[in-house]
Amino acid sequence: MSKQATPGNVATAALKDQSQERQKAMIAEHFRKLAEAPERGEKCVYTFVPGNLTELIDSFGLLPVLPEINALQSGMRGKSRDYIGLAEKLGHSEDVCTYVKCDIGMLKSGNVGPTGERLPNPDLLLLSYTGCFTFLKWFELLGQEYNAPVAMLHVPYQGDGVVTDSMRTYVVDQLKKKVIPALERISGRAYDEEALKERLARSAKAEEDLVWVLESAKRRPSPIDAYFGGVYYIGPIFTAFRGTQDAVLYYRELRAEIEGRIALGKGPVTPDGEIENERYRLVVEGPPNWTSFRKFWQMFAEEGAVVVASTYTKVGGVYDNGFRHDPNRPLETLADYCMGCYTNLNLPTRVQMLERYVREYSADGFLINSVKSCNSFSAGQLMILREVERRTGRPGGFIESDLVDPRYFSASNIKNRLESYFQMIEQKRAGGA
């Protein structure tokens, strides 16, 4: 595995916790399995992070590949500029989501994954289309590239802020009539509900610990950074591991470590050392930038700014409102999970969630990182900003960048805005006192 290949590595530069070692090993193992899959005759399913059906896929003995994660990793490894450039040369518009272009560029450059090993071609494209219309196009594109079958799972949007029976029935119907048969076809195995249930039970356990970890940020000082650090914590739940024993162990370990930090009254660990003086507590909305992830984090850490809650860490599932995978209603619970992911919530619900975070996590303010790529996140964020500001009375900040397109990360511009924002909070405090 190359040096900066995984998120795990960045964090361990400062402190090698056991949980991080475990995560690293899990990821390495997964990519090794993927690389070997063609030889060993193992089949793999490409699918998306929000609303991913990892437990179901795993119960068929199939391996998941998540193109979003590959794109993110390409961004972190400094490859995305070339990949995106290549895709644009091939006729993809400058205006559209760079995850897609990054993935297409990677595919056209030999499909070498984050660990330097070649990724297997998909045997099935599971288009679990949750929270983002771009997914649709993405897999239509991949479908043409690989000539692979596509299984469509249309996950209805919570347009009115609720999940209705009709919506649930629709998803379960599709699972039964479309998705499961497709998985059966390519795996050659029959659907095994018991196997699924076992995995769902393990998911619930891991989810319990994950929520505990994320909520530990309610303390002062917060022992974790729930955004920059948070993206590492959600890794195993997001990606290929939910429902595995590895994930259960990872979160148990992580929880123990955080408990240790709390006992010592310590703040979060960053790549540049520990934050000793928590000066600003922030809630962040929107995905981070991956191409300058470390620089981006630094801009916060240097100022003693700690993110105590973030919405991005909920795109792979919102658990802190009580939802857990329920082995007793296997398909229904999968449906509820899919429909409950953050980007599948309507804007009023997103505002409520942010408002709650600002209050429950005693934040000094909240900040939006608006990414050019993602309309699903970004369209409406300016209104979210004003609404949350109005409801909480805490100052909001707004910065713009992109997920993996380095052309849209202007360090000086972001720093300028962040500095002004922090100085504003500071001034407001001084004025208020």
Partner 1 sequence: MKIDYCVGIDLGSTTTKAVVLDGERRILGRGITNSRSNYDVACKVALGEALINARFSLIDGRMEHDGVDAERRRELLTRFELAFREQQYRSQLAALRTSLHQHAERLAMGAATNAALERILGTMEQETGELYRVGASRKSDFFRDLAGSRYVELAEAIARDGGHAFDPLVGLFDKAILETENSTEAVGTFESHARKAMVQAGDPALQRAVTKVLSIELVQRLGVGTGYGRQRLPFPEKLIRSEILCHGLGAHAMFPGTRTVLDIGGQDTKAIQVDANGIVTSFQMNDRCAAGCGRYLGYIADEMNLGLHELGPMAGKSCRTVRINSTCTVFAGAELRERLSLGEKREDILAGLHRAIILRAMSLLARSGGIEDEFTFTGGVARNTEAVKALRLLVKENYGERKLNISPDSIYTGALGASLFAWREVSRQEAEPVEVPA
Partner 2 sequence: MKTNELRVAGIDVGSSAIKVAVLRDRGSEGAELVGQATERLRRRDPLDVVDSTLDAALALAGLRRDELEYIATTGEGEKVECRTGHFYGMTTHARGGLFLDPEVRAVVDIGALHARAVLMDERARVLGHRMTSQCASGSGQFLENICRYLGVTIDEIGPLSLQSQKPETCSSICAVLAETDVINMVSRGITIPDILKGIHLSMAGRYLKLLTSAGARGPVLITGGLARDEGLRAALIELVGEQQVPVEIRMHDNSPLAGAIGAGLWGAFRVRKLSSRGVSLSGSRG
Partner 3 sequence: MTGLEQLLGRAEELYRDLRFTAVSEWKKRNGGLAIGFMPVYVPRELLHAMGVLPVGVMGAGDDLEIIRGDAYYQSYICHLPRSTIELGLNGALDSLDGMLFPATCDVIRNLSGMWKMQFPEKYSHYLDVPQDFDANVGGQFYRRELEEIAEELHRRGARKLEPAALRKSIAAYNENRALVEGLYSLRIEEPWRVPTHELYLLLRAGNVLPVEEHTVMLRDYRAAVLADEDRRSMDQARVLLAGSFCEQPPLGLLRTLERAGCYIVDDDFVQVHRWITGDVRADGADPLADLVLAYLKQGIASPIRYIDEQVKGQALVERVERSGAEGVIFCAPSFCDPALLDQPMAVAAIERAGIPWTSFKYAENTGQFQVIREQAGTFADSIKLWSE
The site for partner 2 (CB under 8 A) is made up of 85, 88-91, 407, 410
Tell me which of partner 2, partner 3, partner 1, none is bound by residue 88, counting a contact when its beta carbon lies within the kind-specific cut-off of 5 to 8 angstroms: partner 2
Q: Which stretch binds ligand SF4 (CB under 6 A): 193-201, 216-224, 349-357, 372-380?
A: 372-380
Residue 398 binds which of partner 2, partner 1, ligand SF4, none (CB < 5-8 A, kind-dependent): partner 1
Instruction: Pick one of partner 1, ligand SF4, partner 3, none as the site partner of residue 92 (Cβ within 5 to 8 A by kind).
Output: partner 3
Is 132 among the residues that bind ligand SF4 (CB under 6 A)?
yes
Closest to partner 1 by CB, 129 or 409: 409
CA distance 13 to 113: 22
Q: Could you say which of 23, 54, 203, 376 contacts ligand SF4 (CB under 6 A)?
A: 376
Q: Which residues bind partner 3 (CB under 8 A)?
A: 90-93, 95-97, 100, 127, 129, 132-134, 136-138, 140-141, 144, 150, 152, 154, 156-157, 159-160, 166-167, 169-170, 173-174, 177-178, 346-351, 370, 372, 375-376, 378-383, 387, 400
Which residues face 151 on adjacent strands? 126
**Residue number, nearest CB to ligand SF4:** 374
99 binds, among partner 2, partner 3, ligand SF4, none (CB under 5 to 8 A by kind): ligand SF4
Closest to 240 measured CA to CA, from 21, 41, 6, 52: 52
Cα angle 50, 164, 129 (rounded to 5 degrees) comes to 25
Q: Which does residue 10 bind out of partner 2, ligand SF4, partner 3, none, counting CB within 5 to 8 angstroms by kind?
A: none
- Least separation in angstroms between residue 189's CB and partner 3 is 23
Minimum distance from CB of 288 to partner 1 (Å)? 19
Length of the chain, please?
433
Instruction: Please name the residues in contact with 405: beta carbons below 8 A apart, sequence gap of 6 or more.
Output: 80, 81, 84, 98, 291, 372, 373
**Which pairs with CB-CB distance under 8 Å and at least 24 residues apart come from 11-20?**
11/229, 11/232, 11/269, 11/271, 13/271, 14/269, 14/270, 14/271, 14/272, 14/273, 14/274, 15/269, 17/253, 17/254, 17/257, 18/253, 18/257, 19/250, 19/253, 19/254, 19/257, 20/232
Nearer to partner 3, 35 or 163 (CB): 163
> Which option in partner 1, ligand SF4, partner 2, none does residue 286 bind, with CB closer than 5 to 8 A by kind?
none
Residue 31 to residue 5: CA distance in whole angstroms: 12
Is there a cis peptide before residue 395, judged by omega within 30 degrees of 0?
A: no
State the residues that interact with partner 1 by CB under 8 A.
382, 386, 389, 395-396, 398, 400, 410, 412-413, 416-417, 419-420, 423-424, 427-428, 430-431
Report the distance separating Cα 202 and Cα 183, nearest Å: 21
| Residue 373 Cβ vs partner 1, minimum distance, rounded to whole Å | 15
Find the binding residues for ligand SF4 in span 44-103 (CB under 6 A): 68, 97, 99
Nearest CB to ligand SF4, comparing residues 132 and 213: 132
Taking CB within 5 to 8 Å according to partner kind, which of partner 1, ligand SF4, partner 3, none is near residue 395? partner 1
Distances 106 to 69, 116, 118, 213, 278 between C-alpha atoms, Å:
12, 12, 10, 34, 40
150-154 β-sheet, strand order? 63-65, 44-47, 124-129, 150-154
Closest separation between CB of residue 375 and partner 3, Å? 4
Taking the C-alpha atoms of residue 306 and residue 162, their distance in angstroms, rounded to an integer, is: 32
**Residues found near ligand SF4 in the complex (CB under 6 A):** 68, 97, 99, 132, 134-135, 343, 373-377, 403
